[in-house]
A and B are shown apart, each in its own frame.
Chain A
Amino acid sequence: MIKAILIFNNHGKPRMIRFYQYFPEDMQQQIIRETFHLVSKRDDNVCNFLEGGSLIGGSDYKLIYRHYATLYFVFCVDSSESELGILDLIQVFVETLDKCFENVCELDLIFHMDKVHYILQEVVMGGMVLETNMNEIVGQVELQNRMEKSEGGLSAAPARAVSAVKNMNLPEMPRDINIKVPSLSPF
């Protein structure tokens, strides 16, 4: 079982959080902080496993994370999950994000947290791995987006236009910090 999936940046700012077990909000924030503290002090060339933090889980739980450019993707899992399998899964997830957002960068996650959630929902459900085939995941996500578009129809068009205009006015939106997804060979 996966207990939680956290995405935060190099400064510990959460970009997406998904707990599969209930924690009140302040506890969630504490877990994020603790996890960030544990993960951020590790070099990039050390192993990607950490014996669980004290707040979440306990001895049966492990933190398995990957660090891409400015973002940490942390999965908190118990012993029923394969460590290397989860590492692969993180890679699949990030590659899927990359496909869905076309060269994903932190800003995509910042502004489209909801979409990240929708993609994640096709990968992990209720703490269990739902799908690991990237094409299948991307296919399902796109079908749902298409449905959303068709529902929006005409009435959504002006809103999108306005949103586009708003975005145009913002020079402070650099798209240069892509999460350079390295093509890792799966374990």
Chain B
Amino acid sequence: MALKIVKGSIDRMFDKNLQDLVRGIRNHKEDEAKYISTCIDEIKQELKQDNIAVKANAVCKLTYLQMLGYDVSWAAFNIVEVMSSSKFTYKRIGYLAASQCFHESTDVIMLTTNQIRKDLSSPNQYDTGVALTGLSCFVTPDLARDLANDIMTLMSHTKPYIRKKAVLIMYKVFLKYPESLRPAFPRLKEKLEDPDPGVQSAAVNVICELARRNPKNYLSLAPLFFKLMTSSTNNWVLIKIIKLFGALTPLEPRLGKKLIEPLTNLIHSTSAMSLLYECVNTVIAVLISLSSGMPNHSASIQLCVQKLRILIEDSDQNLKYLGLLAMSKILKTHPKSVQSHKDLILQCLDDKDESIRLRALDLLYGMVSKKNLMEIVKKLMLHVDKAEGTTYRDELLTKIIDICSQSNYQYITNFEWYISILVELTRLEGTRHGHLIASQMLDVAIRVKAIRVFAVAQMATLLDNAHLMTGNVQRKGICEVLYAAAWICGEFSEHLENPMQTLEAMLRPKVATLPGHIQAVYVQNAAKLFATVLKSQEGNTDRTAAQETSQLMIDRLPLFVQSANLEVQERASCILQLVKYIQKLQQKDVEVSEEVTALFAGELNPVAPKAQKKVPVPDGLDLDAWINEPPSESESEEEQPRAIFAKEETKHSRPRHTEVDEKELAKRREVRKQEQANNPFYIKASPSSQKVYQEAHGVEHIPVVQIDLSVPLKVPGLPMSDQYVKLEEARRQKDRADKKKKDKKKRKEKRSGRGKRHDSGPESEEDITPAHMVDIVTEEMPENALPSDDDDKDPNDPHKALDIDLDKPLADSEKLPVRSHRAAEAPKSPAEDGDAESTTPQEPKKKSVKEKKEKKKDKERDRKKNKEEKKKKKHKHEDKGEDLLGGQEDEPVVQSEEASEVAAPPTSTSAEVSDLDFWLSNAPVPSKAQVVSEQETATVEAEAAPVPEAASGTAPDSEPDEPKDPEMEETKSSKHKKKKQKKEKEEKEKKKKKKHHHHHHHSDGGEDKSVQNGTVEEEEEPLPPMSNYCLLAENSYIKMIIEDADQVYDIQGNLQDGSQVVVSVIFENKCDSFLKSMEFNVLDSLNSKLQRPEGSGPHDGLTVPFQLPPGVSNEARFVFTVQSIVMSQKLKGTVTFIVKNEDSSTHEKLDFKLHFTCSSYLITTPCYSDAFAKLLESGDLKCSSIKLEGVSMPFHHLLARICFHHHFSVVERIDSCASMYSRSIQGHHVCLLVKVSGETVSIDAKCDEPTLLGNVLDEIKQTFSQC
């Protein structure tokens, strides 16, 4: 045995190892493939041996061969064997090989699950690390599902090395198994604040990657990232975060406002170019998101542009490239700022680096104006001539066309020039963009009526010289242009100087070598030309000419009739027969030209490319419904013949004589005219384009000028386009000279060259007289066209599945699957830290260790969450129009199932979001958004969960109680999605609370039952929109006006034995001055009194125990004693404070009204249906009912509203009927039965205190009357 091992190891010595293999391959340069195949045979032998070392060696060699392109998937099983070796050395080889060649369809992967799980829980961190690394490359949905829980456990591993790997791999797991995202997310979020920078960076990495794809779900993390951004010094992390913010700002402009300052600071302070660049990028994103209505950010734009200029001027090509890249982003929104750097960008066009030239080209797009368009295009044309690679040249070509055609040819003042540019571009060798040029020619000729004469002449020349384009095989792409040329000549043949010549050109035998679809157009348009020619010839007395023309057609058409292309053949034979018939008639001396021309009569209107798509589906037409019964068997689908005119057909393949109902047409036309008349951008087509002169009022749009008929448009046929261009230039000079004379201007212009033709350099944009008379026809759209919604999201995008609401509380069913063979073998992984997920969903009562641990946190979170919900609700209620985050509003959690779940009303998405709102609005926000943000700022804090009696006896300090009631805890722990930040804030608030309790409250000695019902109080800055006041009031908000300061008041009813209500107020300083000596005072009523410290008089104010520097907010709490709760009431109050500036200090005061509604005395208390039934049966309750009409919201929204505004909980819900329960702070039971039928809601209510019930119902009624 021993001998065998020794022998094995000696054998092994002479086995080829990786180095030998490499050396061998290098020594067999001529017959490498042969050598490798012998090596593979050897490897196969080695893999058959039992010795794992031999196998590992073989697998290692295979990994190398895989790199050279050899498929090694046949060895997958051996790789798995090596992976499962107990030695790290071999394991590592195995995992490396697996990561190189395993993929989702590798079937042996399913054998690895247990091995990987074992490695993940190995005591050796490198075993775990290697497994994680390997897994990150070949994780499959199955592996992800089976291992998600193990990996999640590793996220809390003691070693940061493992933690960071586990965190990173979670991203892959999420991609493959999206269900794991929600359960794992809280922990991932925790890792954002991991003490180890590597782990933190990994978490940032993962969340950024997730957020990039579905940014809206991560908006609520913005405050946390903001904190990281301002605290982190790791450039990697900073870059990631700043990039993330760039993705978030478009969704939330207020975030952008908050970001600008720290980013600007970073831009000024950082020395790292990478960071600087990303900052600039994000500032740009912010500016784009703010572009509307935020004019005062020009400083930021200037800063960005200036920094980018520095980058572009840098000798480092990388910086130059990135500078241009970022510049193009600014260009979209702030073209002016970029245009001032035109010099620099034009300079970059000459750079030797193609990447940089391409970037500079992108920029040019936005820099053109009427003034410089020709100059820029001229420069580009020079580049076209110089360009060596076809790719770059094609890029130039498309750019030229893009630049010229952008915004509906906005910058073109002379279409003759543009046509000649297009014609010039046809000279390009081997371009792929013949199509593009052709469609431009068509577009211009169709839409710019005034140019048709010129265009037709040019096209006729092109047709005449068609051999130049067809001759060379390389020029295939460009012959597309002939398609356009033929069509234009045919369609607008009345403008042809010499139609006969063109007709001949179109019927040359050479044409038969063109692609089919072009020939088809040739044939069709030859017919049109024929009609025109006939017409002119019949006018003459000489009949023979007309007959000769017919004869020409009859002679030449048979060539096309023989065409292999069906379209050509069909058209040709049709037309041939027609012409033969015409000839017959001609021989009988019949005048035919009228009839022939009628074949092609009518004007074509350009139709927008998407017009067809946008025709609205009429009401009652279901396109998906079967008209007849579906065929029983799926018949083989007939292949649709490929549309030959696919590319251009929208514009001209419309049948000429569609037999559409004339009336209908007229009607449509009428509607369209109406529409166009109201559209200032629509330049009305006048019946005769020749005498159009219209001023587009108010818009310096496309100028329309009288056509100058004195300009000779005659262009003789030219053999070479080069020459043609020269002639064209000459013509233009003449043109210019003519104009000059007419204008009697004395400007000198003897310079030649097309580019200089606009010697109008100093002229302002508006002064540039368009050299040509333009009448751009807008493309037609169907009436009632649907708004564009081309949201082309790739349905296969794996990230789509990760568009998951992360803020919704976690349901039991969502927990990650845990490996469990038998119930007895509850997983006790080494790293077991009492994972919440190990609870089986079937046992909802059984709480995991973690949950217990976290219950306190959860409790807090829960409370907070509730508060947020309310706030959100309110926000929603108040300003629907302002809801920037509309997409976030999900349906409230289904409420019927678990009554306990219901205690906390709707979604916490909205909760998170409104927390974000709160955070966002902390910043001093400028004017417009102010109102909104202030409304959002108000925070309602309300403890949704009721306080069990058990909690009594705790000192006021421990105010947020610790519920002992297991059911309660269940409720809470079921959602543990909360941000740390929030927790912190919560804690802060708690402290504050404590302080205050001590302050005002110590005497009562009673137990604090931390049930707080919220009313909200809010203050507004000088702008007092009455509508808001209204809304606020009815939501028990109070509106106040304070000078200079923005203070947000937040009332929370905190209930005590003696019916005490705690009002917590957040004071926020919105001005630039220091606020101090704040005093809070309320005019007591008989029923309600503010609790004041012993010894103070009944009218003394309470000192607010803090001062507020600018921009800071803080919270204070005030306690009220309430005698009777059956009536709502309002208390008047005042806050006084001193505003301290550098040089002065003024005393200011702010009045407000506190509104205690009856609903605010109710506590959301869960109630089980059996208890509820008993309560109803008991018979001590008085009955009352109301009906609400015209409530059109979904039922669950309605319930959520009642839950939220009036602190009820749903006991049971069946279809459109629900029972609800709540309890007052003095122990009154309130039961509701809510029924909905149509828009009518009837509420039957029972309560042991009729007055209270009446008031509550009134309040409910009011709530719904407002929505």
Residues of chain A touching chain B, judged by Cβ–Cβ distance below 8 Å, are 1, 14, 16-18, 20, 22, 24-26, 28-29, 42-43, 45-51, 80, 82-85, 87-88, 110-114, 117-118, 121, 125-133, 136, 140, 143-144, 147-148, 151-152, 155, 158-159, 162-163, 166-167, 170, 186-187
Contacts and interface: CB of A to CB of B under 8 A. Distances in A.
A125 B239 contact: no
Contact of B274 (A46, A152, A187): A187
A144 B92 contact: yes
27 contacts: A14-B67, A14-B68, A25-B71, A47-B355, A47-B356, A48-B318, A82-B274, A82-B277, A83-B277, A85-B239, A88-B274, A110-B26, A111-B22, A112-B19, A113-B63, A117-B63, A118-B92, A121-B133, A126-B172, A128-B202, A128-B206, A130-B198, A144-B92, A159-B9, A186-B274, A187-B272, A187-B277
B317 A125 contact: no
A17 B64 CA distance: 10
B165 interface: yes
A84 B278 CA distance: 9
A80 B212 contact: yes
Contacts of B171: 126, 128
B104 interface: yes
Interface string B349-386: 00011111010000000000000000000000000000
A135 to B, nearest CB: 12
Contacts of A18: 100
A51 B69 contact: no
Dominant secondary structure of chain B at its interface with chain A: helix
A28 to B, nearest CB: 7
Given A22-B103, A110-B22, A187-B274, A151 B89 contact: yes
B10 interface: yes
A115 B96 CA distance: 10
Contacts of A148: 88-89, 92
A51 B243 contact: no
Contact of B272 (A45, A50, A133, A186): A186
B1001 interface: no
Contacts, number: 165
A181 B1255 CA distance: 81
A114 B18 contact: yes
B164 interface: yes
Contacts of B278: 82
A87 B318 contact: yes
A46 B66 contact: no
Interface of B: 9-10, 12-14, 17-20, 22-23, 26, 60, 63-64, 66-71, 87-89, 92-93, 96, 100, 103-104, 124, 126, 130, 132-133, 136-137, 161, 164-165, 168-169, 171-172, 198, 201-202, 205-206, 208-209, 212, 235-236, 239, 243, 272-274, 277-278, 317-318, 320-322, 352-356, 358
Contacts of B165: 125, 130
B136 A51 contact: no
Contacts of B67: 14, 16-17, 113
Nearest to B134: A121
Given A114-B96, A151-B87, A82 B239 contact: yes
Given A17-B67, A46-B317, A83-B318, 8 more contacts: A43-B353, A45-B317, A46-B355, A80-B208, A117-B96, A121-B130, A128-B202, A130-B164
B17 A1 contact: no
Contact of B205 (A46, A110, A128): A128
Contacts of B277: 82-84, 187
A91 to B, nearest CB: 12
A22 B18 contact: no
A166 B17 CA distance: 11
Contacts of A125: 132-133, 136, 165, 168-169
B322 A84 contact: yes
A166 B243 contact: no
A35 to B, nearest CB: 14
Which 9 pairs between the two chains have the least Cβ-Cβ distance? A126-B136, A84-B274, A47-B317, A22-B103, A46-B353, A29-B69, A187-B273, A187-B274, A47-B321
Contacts of B322: 49, 83-84
B1150 to A, nearest CB: 47
Nearest to B356: A47
Contacts of B321: 47, 49
Nearest to A118: B92
Nearest to B320: A47
A114 B946 CA distance: 62
Nearest to B60: A114
Contact of B88 (A26, A144, A163): A144
A131 B164 CA distance: 9
A162 B126 contact: no
A158 B9 CA distance: 9
Contacts of A144: 88, 92, 126
Given A46-B317, A125-B168, A25 B69 contact: yes
B239 A147 contact: no
Contacts of A84: 273-274, 277, 318, 322
Nearest to A136: B198
B1267 to A, nearest CB: 41
B96 A151 contact: no
Contact of B198 (A49, A131, A151): A131
A112 B1027 CA distance: 74
Given A47-B317, A151-B87, A26 B69 contact: yes
A162 B133 contact: no
A82 B355 CA distance: 17
Q: Which of A43, A121, A159, A167 has the most CB of B within 10 A?
A: A121
Given A114-B18, A128-B168, A47 B353 contact: yes
A166 B20 contact: yes
Contact of A158 (B13, B22, B137, B208): B13
A166 B132 CA distance: 35
Contacts of A186: 272, 274
A45 B320 CA distance: 12
Contacts of A85: 235-236, 239, 274
A87 B318 CA distance: 10
Contacts of A26: 69
Nearest to A144: B126
Contacts of B100: 18
Contacts of A82: 239, 243, 274, 277-278
B161 A140 contact: yes
Nearest to A173: B23
A126 B318 contact: no
A126 B902 CA distance: 41
B243 A80 contact: yes
Contacts of B23: 111, 166, 170
A55 to B, nearest CB: 14
Contacts of B352: 43, 46
A155 B68 CA distance: 31
Nearest to B86: A151
Given A16-B67, A158-B13, A129 B161 contact: no
Contacts of A25: 66, 69-71
A62 to B, nearest CB: 10
Nearest to A83: B322
Contacts of A152: 89
A111 B21 CA distance: 9
Contacts of B164: 130-131
B46 to A, nearest CB: 14
Nearest to B25: A110
Contacts of B198: 130-131, 133, 136
Nearest to A84: B274
B73 to A, nearest CB: 9
B358 A51 contact: yes
Contacts of B133: 121, 125-126
Contact of A49 (B130, B274, B318): B318
B18 A113 contact: yes
Q: Which of A14, A28, A80, A152 has the most CB of B within 10 A?
A: A80
Contacts of A50: 355
